[in-house]
Amino acid sequence: MRFVKMHGIGNDYVYLDCVRNPPPADPAALSRAVSDRHFGVGSDGLILVCPSDKADARMRMFNADGSEAEMCGNGLRCVAKFVHDHGIARKPRLAIETGRGVLTVDLELAGGRVSRVRVNMGEPILRSADIPTTLPGDPPVNAPITLAGKRFEATCVSMGNPHAVFYAGDEFFTPGEYDHVAEYGPFAELAAEFPRRVNAHFVKVHSPAEVTMRTWERGSGITLACGTGAAAVCVAGVLTGRTGRTILAHLPGGDLELHWSEADNCVYKTGPAAEVFSGDWPD
């Protein structure tokens, strides 16, 4: 089974061309196997590039634990690069079908290959029942929640998948920072207030136009980047009055540019996409 390893600012996945090849019989089991960083390829999960009757391609995403997720912003950028660079559809603008509908992506080329991608992430989902969360508010803004005995305030947004944004202290962004993300992230993901689990983001605001974030992803744990999470952080910043509608988000794997448009209510995300290597996985 031919695969391609790709990443968007360090958020790495194994990609399969299911447009020209049959899909795996058990993608959840395959995701668990290839994602293992000691005995597999090593990744945050598996993404299938599939045919679509309503777009240029369809994206199916599986986390490292085998659970299927609705969307992945960094993964979507890499799907766009895969579709273009591997000749499925060579156009400057692509439509990709995802778990949250058909999303539009604009490609920036260098030497005939995709280097950066601007994604229309769609409108944020702000109704609590649709995020989903049982925290009060539509959406919950600075809602109190206790994780591992520590009090936090959560602002919740769905970008097709659920996110909880926590504005955290300096201890999350200093040496040993991942100890804190690893300590509180699992409790956030599995908190009873999030019936479908949640992606947890710990954020430090530098200015109304700049933030740093650390992520615990549902089903994958600590990751170097989360595109839908960065979009949720952009929305949460506006909802809490901490940032403006255009921000630069610093993630461990790199930077993303975010803009929550007043014109159409959609969040736009721009960032790089890179192909690392390809290989053959025993079928």
Residues forming the active site: 72, 226
Helices (H) and strands (E) in the chain, counts: 4, 18
Cα–Cα distance, 191 to 108 (Å, whole number)? 40
Tokens, residue 77: 């950028």
Separation CA 78–CA 115 (nearest Å): 10
Structure-block tokens of residue 281: 């996985």
Q: How far apart are CA 241 and CA 238, in angstroms?
A: 5
DSSP code of 129?
G
What are the backbone angles phi and psi of residue 161, rounded to the nearest 5°?
A: -140, 155
Strand pairing category for 210-217 and 246-251: parallel
**Alpha-carbon distance 163 to 231, whole Å?**
10
User: Cis peptide before 132, with omega less than 30 degrees from 0?
Assistant: yes
Q: Contact 196/158 with Cβ under 8 angstroms?
A: no
